[in-house]
Amino acid sequence: MLDSLSKCLLAGLAACFTAIPAMARLDDGTYDLLKLVESYGVDIRFNTAVCDPYTYGSFKVTKGLPILSLCIDPDNITADDHNTVRHEVWHYIQYCKTPASSTVLHPLLKDRTKYNELIHYGLSGSTIERIRTDYPDDYESVELEAFAAAELLSAKFIGEKVVDHCTPIRTNRPIEGA
C-alpha cells in the first residue's frame, strides 16, 4: 500500500531520478491501465472540448461518474501521451481516496515527508515552480503528486494502486441480453 509505494520510490528510484531530469516515456502497460480503469467504471473520452494546445488531458467527476479525457493524436502517440494517461489515472486514485465530503481532490500520500520526497525525486525545481504558478492553490498538491507519479511510476504499478485504492462502480449502461 502506501508503505510499498514509499519503499519503491525511495529504494529503487531515488538513485535513478535525483541526477537525471524527469522525461516522458513510452510504457507498454498504458493500454492495460486504460482498460483497467474503464472496467472500474471510468468513462474514457478522447479529444473532447477540454483539449487545446496547452491541455493534454483532464480528470473530473460529473454526476458521480469519473471521466478521464485524453487529448491524443491517434496517428502520433507519444511518450507525453503515455505520461498523461499515468497522470490522469493518478487523479482517479486520488479521487478514490478523497473523502466524499470534499469538493477538491486530496493527495494520496498523507505523510508529508513521503509526499515531499516523491515530489522532489520526481520533478525538477523549475517544473515544481511551473506547476505552482499554473494551478490554483487548491489543486497544487494533487497536481504535484500526479506529475511526480507519472514521471516515476510505471503504468503497471499505477494499475496496482487502482486495485488497492479504488472500487469498481456500477454505471447505468444497459446490459446486453437482459
Question: What nine digits make up the cell of 3?
Answer: 508503505
Q: Tens of pLDDT along 64-77?
A: 899 999 999 989 99
Assigned domain for 24 exists: yes
Question: What nine digits make up the cell of 12?
Answer: 529503487
- Element (H or E) spanning 44, and its range? strand 43-46
Q: Which residues contact 4 (CB under 8 A, 6 or more apart)?
A: none
R_g over Cα of the chain? 16
Assigned domain for 171 exists: no
Identify the pLDDT of residue 74.
87
Please tell me the total count of domains within the chain: 1
Identify the pLDDT of residue 133.
96
> Which residue from 151, 176, 177, 154 is spatially nearest to 24, judged by alpha carbons?
151
Assigned domain for 41 exists: yes
Assigned domain for 172 exists: no
Name the pLDDT band for 177 (thresholds 50, 70, 90): very low
Q: Which residue has the cell 490554483?
A: 136
Identify the pLDDT of residue 24.
75
Assigned domain for 28 exists: yes
Rounded-to-5 percentages of helix, strand, coil across the chain: 50, 10, 40
Q: Tens of pLDDT along 16-67?
A: 332 233 457 889 999 999 999 999 999 999 999 999 988 999 999 998 899 9
Q: Report CA-CA distances (Å) from 75 to 60, 65, 72.
A: 26, 29, 9
Question: What nine digits make up the cell of 6?
Answer: 514509499
Q: Phi first, then psi: what are they for 132, rounded to 5°? A: -65, -30
Assigned domain for 177 exists: no
Identify the pLDDT of residue 150.
96
Identify the pLDDT of residue 23.
58
Identify the pLDDT of residue 170.
59
Q: Tens of pLDDT along 101-155?
A: 898 999 999 999 999 999 999 999 999 999 999 999 999 999 999 999 999 999 9
Assigned domain for 174 exists: no
- Domain residues for the domain of 14 are 2-165
CA atoms within 13 A on the CB side of 137: 0
Q: Is 169 helix (H, G, I), strand (E, B) or coil?
A: coil
Question: What nine digits make up the cell of 36?
Answer: 483497467
Q: Look up the pTM and report it.
A: 0.82
Assigned domain for 122 exists: yes
